Structure 1
Amino acid sequence: MKISQGKLLSQINTPDDLKKLSQNQLTQVSEELREYIIDHVSIYGGHFGASLGVVELTVALHYVFNTPDDQLIWDVGHQAYGHKILTGRKEQFHTNRLYGGLSGFPKRSESEYDAFGVGHSSTSISAALGMAYGSAQKGETQRQHIAVIGDGAMTGGMAFEAMNHAGDSNKNLLIILNDNCMSIDPNVGALKDYLTDITTSHTYNKLRDDVWKVLGKISKFGPNAQEIVGKFENSLKSFLLKQSNMFESLNLRYFGPVDGHDVNHLVHVLNDLKDIPGPKILHCITKKGKGYKLAEEDQTKWHAPGKFDKITGEIRKSVPTEPQAPKYQDVFGHTIVELAKKNERILGVTPAMPSGSSLNIMMKEMPDRAFDVGIAEQHAVTFSAGLATQGMVPFCNIYSSFMQRAYDQVIHDVAIQKLPVVFCLDRAGIAGADGPTHHGAYDIAYMRCIPHMVVAAPMNEQELRNLMYTASEYNGPFTIRYPRGKGVMPEWQTPLEKLEVGTGRKLRSGEDLAILTIGHIGNYATKACEMLESEGMQVSHYDMRFVKPLDEALLHEVFTKHNRVLTVEDGCLPGGFGSAILEFMADHGYQSKIVRLGIPDRVVEHGEQDEIYHECGYDAEAIKTAAIRMMDPQVVLQ
């Protein structure tokens, strides 16, 4: 579908084209850019509210700075759609997040304007500061480095580590704090209240206006501009320190708050800040979803709503004719409440993903027993460890790819002390359109090597419930991984059953070969077994449930009976489930031929889950093909 670009936007393919316009045309450019984003996301889907909130800021940044030579980093990257459209990707924007199309996040290999690949929170300031030091090493002292970070991402400890370092430097670093009181869910914690105090202080805001009057005269003072600003700044600092300005205490020059939707004022401010050397922070107040009323009113729902009717706001969803299986995350959300009602020691913890993990169900029903700790995965893990020392049973729910950010805490604070923390890793395996920054490819490998850690994965909703119940009664660290999206059981609210840790189950018996699976991908193997049976092959299928500890009795049965074994996992092949089976076979002297299917040893790009399963060779058809190939006596298996 051809989408109108607007009179001015149609003339812009690069920031150089944008700079050819007069400043009084930027308001119209912003309006056309916002409309272009709304039109595209309504038809093709994607992240929505975040990019609408920074339209004017995006236009102003590319108008003022000499990108890509001046380096612009968007923290997380949900908000970078306008940036992509203005930097040569307008005609391809309809492929955003689609298989083989543009990435939904900034990506260095996609464009020279994407200075740093992002997807996880709180990395922008560190990256920009590193770039600033690198530029200085090359003698490029006039080059600008800009990090745009949201107030939600600012809660991540890495952002504070970077600001602490930046304040001790003299590098050209501009931190733009995009303050909209939101990440995906409403922000929590003391920083949110602190920023609110700054933006609502009448005394501070009067002084802020005085600052801009002085800055507005910089160009008139010529070479004495820095001296004049410095004198004014000393009195400003004196006031700010009395007000306990956190940023000034880190030796970052603080400016703002400013209206992040006044593009002309932003251009004026950014031009002035370009001439002030050293590290500084500009505090912009924006509204997530700006310009689309429904997104402004319900910012969580409209973070990534999917396809919708632009006029009515109706989100387009197919109406099923049969009962549907729930999402795994919702099974978790309801089951933890069910378990918590029976066990008062059970608590829930998540780092800023209550709706994404469905812990919001518990937060609503048991607000004193569920904690959103902000975008702070390391803190979430060690906080959970602290709870466990007091006899609590914390369920720490973190996306698999985000758990990577707290790996030291898992080992040092939980596993070494053998504390009973239950790690529920949502989005394990292929995550879909969010791509490589969000694929949960590595958790089996990185969790199974940790002493004391149990690693399990449910094949369906009933198994998830049973594993959660089992974990709540287990005296040690316990990992449960499950994928993004729906399960397979419309009637999922089954009675809770405690499982014996380290036991799998045989689902099908056959003489030709054995298929061993872990987790939800086992349902694809079930389909493959049915297809193989229709072609005359008799296949055994084992759902192992646990990667660690392995069900050794079941594996002895497998290798005694079968000389051909196929393993299937929705995780990385190096060090994963298949590797664990190979290790068992070698340790016990078996000689079976093994073929492993799973995520290959490369970065896997974005696309729908089934598209990626097919590409990586472990959907039902690929499992069937691999099994047939294993039975071919002419094929030499590697």
Structure 2
Amino acid sequence: MSSPPVTPLLDRVRVPADLRNFSAEQLKELAEELRAETIHAVSTTGGHLGASLGVVELTTAIHAVFDTPTDRLIWDVGHQAYPHKILTGRRDRIRTLRQPGGLSGFTRRSESEYDPFGAAHSSTSISAGLGMAVARDLLGRRAGQNVIAVIGDGAMSAGMAYEAMNNAGAMKSRLIVVLNDNDMSIARPVGALSAYLSRLISSRPFLSIREVMAKVARRFPGPLARAAERADEYARGFLTGGTLFEELGFYYVGPVDGHDLDHLLPVLRNLRDAEEAGPILLHVVTQKGKGYAPAEASADKYHGVVKFNVITGEQAKAPPGPPAYTKVFAQALIAEAEADERIVAVTAAMPSGTGLDAFGKRFPRRTFDVGIAEQHAVTFAAGMACEGLRPFVAIYSTFLQRAYDQVVHDVALQNLPVRFAMDRAGLVGADGATHAGAYDIAYLGCIPNMTLMAASDEVELTHMVATAASHDAGPIAFRYPRGEGRGLELPARGTPLPIGKGRILREGTAIALLSYGTRLAEALLAAEDLAARGLSCTVADARFAKPLDTGLVEQLARHHEVLITLEEGSTGGFGALVAHHLAHAGLLDGGLRFRPLTLPDLYLDHDTPKRQYDTAGLNAPQIVAAALNAIGLNDAAARRPPLAGAG
């Protein structure tokens, strides 16, 4: 473990206001110290390193120029907010980042007044910023109060960003959008000329002259006035590349070198003082991983990192274990695609996160990364399905929420055979509530025509990929968690499952545990514990939530005193579907003790997955406790002779 960096200037910063006493040269030194502090902190916690290193100078400059938190600073996604957290009074806790009880890996309103808007899903910053700007205007707050939204170029691939810009351009409220261009290379190379032009067109004299000329132009006949206005936009767009943003109603400034404070500081001051301007877009060009050689050389590997050696950049390696569910999914899909050329794969800017990078290497022409555009991904796949392809849409459960209308209207209503592979189902550890796949069972379970599956282990996942590949009767979705499987031997290719049929793994007589998903392993452990207490248990794997295996459900209900359902999802999901059937079948009328165990009705903070599931009440000890409570026994009483009928 390396020693913390020496940071004499950073040690003088308690809050961003302290930066306003520093000279430009001191701010440059401070930025280097901030970069070193960020690297050292993330080396001990893991997290999103590359994006944070890319905005060190930008973060320093914004806090030095603007009056945060009175001026609102919104970071899109939050991956790049670690330097911001260090400068805003959280340096003493930065090494608790993403740790149990520590700082969130994203911005969070409850964490600091310097986080005016929480973010972890992308492309929300401009919408939120516009809302804040309009509130400022309507509530008559300080006229000079600024709202600054920092959005990465990747997040600009989402339609929501353009919807917000279109609205902002029409409303003319004062709003500063900083486009952090670190990946798409949408700008021409930046340099002294670009910096000079950016300072010029963002300056008060230029803006004043422009306003005067606009007033003169408005005295021209209509066609000439419009021609003069467009000539101004296109002239500046020709020099700077900002015509698109001008067409959306923004005043474009840039591109500016996002690592050169001599360029950034004067431009930001100009924008701060440009009270007569409407929405402005400042285009800065940065480099992911800037200032740390390993991250500069491999931006993808250092986007999100585990603990690493600061000197060598080598990331800590987990001990060898079973393959992750994501890898199992990718291998299973490749096996299916080898046998069926109609299978294609779609992802929304998450090829490595979903395993589709491996699929893409094998089938580059059949792999489609549509960017951060989940809505488009779903309807795009629907179009493919219309023409006879067999599309798999691989999206994290939490991100599929963004495309709910498309799932309902464009896929399910038309009964199109789109396959949804929902990674990160259930709780996800350090990424916390924003990335937990808590709701898909409930939000898909209410949709007609939808078939829903949940894998209980990696072998079942392989079979469910095969099931989805062969299912052409309508949309089908399957969920699986983050992390490793159980180490089971995998078949070379999956075997399609009978639709709507579960399985029994253990026979008993007193208590039935019906699991949907990977809580099955905990259910089996709970059954062992209950058996040791004299309570005989049946353990079943539902496999399907829709169509529900009603025969299995009724069998368990009729032959057991207690029926407990288990799922890694919210209320309103699998347990609700089971309860609905039991109620209509009259099986809740005769004394059956039914207990649905779900994720609790609250947002679970980041922690280790095991502790998260302990808190949720979904590990074996809590399942045992629920069974004892249902049967009317406490822990001590359970050690007495079993009830009549218990085997």
TM-score (norm 2): 0.91
Whether 2:512 is the aligned partner of 1:522: answer no
**SS of structure 1 residue aligned to 2:360:** helix
Q: Deviations over 1:5-35 (max 9, x none)?
A: 6101111111112222222200111011110
Letter in 1 for 2:628: I
Check conservation: 1:26, 1:264, Cα contact below 8 A.
Answer: no
Residue of structure 2 in register with 1:60 after alignment: 61
Q: CA deviation at 1:611?
A: 1.2
Q: CA deviation at 1:285?
A: 0.4
Residue of structure 2 in register with 1:610 after alignment: 610
**SS of structure 2 residue aligned to 1:40:** helix
Check conservation: 2:199, 2:266, Cα contact below 8 A.
Answer: no
Check conservation: 1:458, 1:545, Cα contact below 8 A.
Answer: yes
Whether 2:480 is the aligned partner of 1:479: answer no
Residue of structure 2 in register with 1:380 after alignment: 377
Check conservation: 1:240, 1:248, Cα contact below 8 A.
Answer: no
Q: Deviations over 1:437-467 (max 9, x none)?
A: 1111000000010000001101011111111
Residue of structure 2 in register with 1:47 after alignment: 48
**SS of structure 1 residue aligned to 2:150:** strand
Residue of structure 1 in register with 2:248 after alignment: 250
Whether 2:197 is the aligned partner of 1:210: answer yes
Superposition pairs of residues 430-441 of structure 1, within 5 angstroms: 430-441=427-438
Residue of structure 2 in register with 1:106 after alignment: 107
Check conservation: 2:597, 2:618, Cα contact below 8 A.
Answer: yes
**SS of structure 2 residue aligned to 1:167:** helix
**SS of structure 2 residue aligned to 1:410:** helix
1:345, 1:232 → 2: CA distance? 59
Residue of structure 2 in register with 1:344 after alignment: 341
Check conservation: 1:37, 1:82, Cα contact below 8 A.
Answer: yes
Residue of structure 1 in register with 2:157 after alignment: 155
Check conservation: 2:195, 2:263, Cα contact below 8 A.
Answer: no
1:318, 1:300 → 2: CA distance? 19
Check conservation: 1:453, 1:479, Cα contact below 8 A.
Answer: yes
Letter in 1 for 2:21: K
Superposition pairs of residues 10-21 of structure 1, within 5 angstroms: 10-21=11-22
2:421, 2:90 → 1: CA distance? 38
Check conservation: 2:94, 2:103, Cα contact below 8 A.
Answer: yes
**SS of structure 1 residue aligned to 2:399:** helix
Stretches of structure 2 that go unaligned for 5 or more consecutive residues are 215-228, 636-647
**SS of structure 1 residue aligned to 2:393:** strand
2:630, 2:112 → 1: CA distance? 43
Superposition pairs of residues 182-261 of structure 1, within 5 angstroms: 192=184, 195-196=185-186, 198-200=187-189, 206=193, 209-213=196-200, 215=202, 218=204, 226-230=207-211, 236-240=232-236, 245-261=243-259
Q: Deviations over 1:295-316 (max 9, x none)?
A: 1111111111200111111111
Superposition pairs of residues 120-159 of structure 1, within 5 angstroms: 120-140=121-141, 141-159=143-161
2:623, 2:6 → 1: CA distance? 45
Check conservation: 1:215, 1:229, Cα contact below 8 A.
Answer: no
Which stretch has the larger CA shift, 589-598 or 550-559? Answer: 589-598
* Cα distance, 1:213–1:245 mapped onto 2, change above 3 Å: closer
Q: CA deviation at 1:498?
A: 1.4
Match 2:562 to one of 537, 544, 564? 564
Whether 2:404 is the aligned partner of 1:411: answer no
1:363, 1:403 → 2: CA distance? 21
Superposition pairs of residues 331-480 of structure 1, within 5 angstroms: 331-475=328-472, 476-480=474-478
* Cα distance, 1:201–1:99 mapped onto 2, change above 3 Å: closer
Check conservation: 1:326, 1:487, Cα contact below 8 A.
Answer: yes
**SS of structure 2 residue aligned to 1:284:** strand
Check conservation: 1:107, 1:118, Cα contact below 8 A.
Answer: yes
* Cα distance, 1:338–1:147 mapped onto 2, change above 3 Å: same
2:607, 2:633 → 1: CA distance? 36
Residue of structure 1 in register with 2:497 after alignment: 499
Letter in 2 for 1:438: H
Check conservation: 1:15, 1:62, Cα contact below 8 A.
Answer: yes
Q: CA deviation at 1:472?
A: 1.2
Residue of structure 2 in register with 1:599 after alignment: 599
Q: Deviations over 1:259-309 (max 9, x none)?
A: 000123211110011122210101100000111111111111111120011
Residue of structure 2 in register with 1:174 after alignment: 176
* Cα distance, 1:516–1:20 mapped onto 2, change above 3 Å: same
Residue of structure 2 in register with 1:185 after alignment: none
2:234, 2:376 → 1: CA distance? 33
Residue of structure 1 in register with 2:628 after alignment: 628
Check conservation: 2:47, 2:305, Cα contact below 8 A.
Answer: yes
Residue of structure 1 in register with 2:582 after alignment: 585
Check conservation: 1:325, 1:491, Cα contact below 8 A.
Answer: no
**SS of structure 1 residue aligned to 2:603:** coil
Which stretch has the larger CA shift, 596-605 or 530-539? Answer: 530-539
Identity across the alignment (%): 46
Q: CA deviation at 1:226?
A: 3.5
Q: CA deviation at 1:528?
A: 1.7
1:200, 1:291 → 2: CA distance? 19
Residue of structure 2 in register with 1:279 after alignment: 279
Letter in 1 for 2:197: D
1:609, 1:120 → 2: CA distance? 21
2:286, 2:194 → 1: CA distance? 20
* Cα distance, 1:214–1:122 mapped onto 2, change above 3 Å: closer
Check conservation: 1:170, 1:279, Cα contact below 8 A.
Answer: yes
1:416, 1:97 → 2: CA distance? 40
Check conservation: 1:453, 1:477, Cα contact below 8 A.
Answer: yes
Residue of structure 2 in register with 1:31 after alignment: 32
2:337, 2:198 → 1: CA distance? 53
Stretches of structure 1 that go unaligned for 5 or more consecutive residues are 182-191
1:34, 1:377 → 2: CA distance? 33
Check conservation: 1:27, 1:264, Cα contact below 8 A.
Answer: no
- Give the number of equivalent residue pairs: 611
Residue of structure 2 in register with 1:327 after alignment: 324
Letter in 2 for 1:289: G
**SS of structure 2 residue aligned to 1:84:** helix
Cα root mean square deviation, aligned: 2.0
Which stretch has the larger CA shift, 496-505 or 4-13? Answer: 4-13
1:593, 1:172 → 2: CA distance? 60
* Cα distance, 1:211–1:518 mapped onto 2, change above 3 Å: closer
Q: CA deviation at 1:630?
A: 2.5
Superposition pairs of residues 538-553 of structure 1, within 5 angstroms: 538-553=536-551
Check conservation: 1:208, 1:255, Cα contact below 8 A.
Answer: no
Letter in 1 for 2:272: K
Q: CA deviation at 1:628?
A: 2.5
Q: CA deviation at 1:236?
A: 4.9
Q: CA deviation at 1:619?
A: 1.1
Q: Deviations over 1:77-102 (max 9, x none)?
A: 00000111111111011111111111
Q: CA deviation at 1:318?
A: 3.5
Q: Deviations over 1:602-627 (max 9, x none)?
A: 12211121110011111122112222
Residue of structure 2 in register with 1:533 after alignment: 531
Check conservation: 1:462, 1:494, Cα contact below 8 A.
Answer: no
Check conservation: 1:24, 1:264, Cα contact below 8 A.
Answer: no
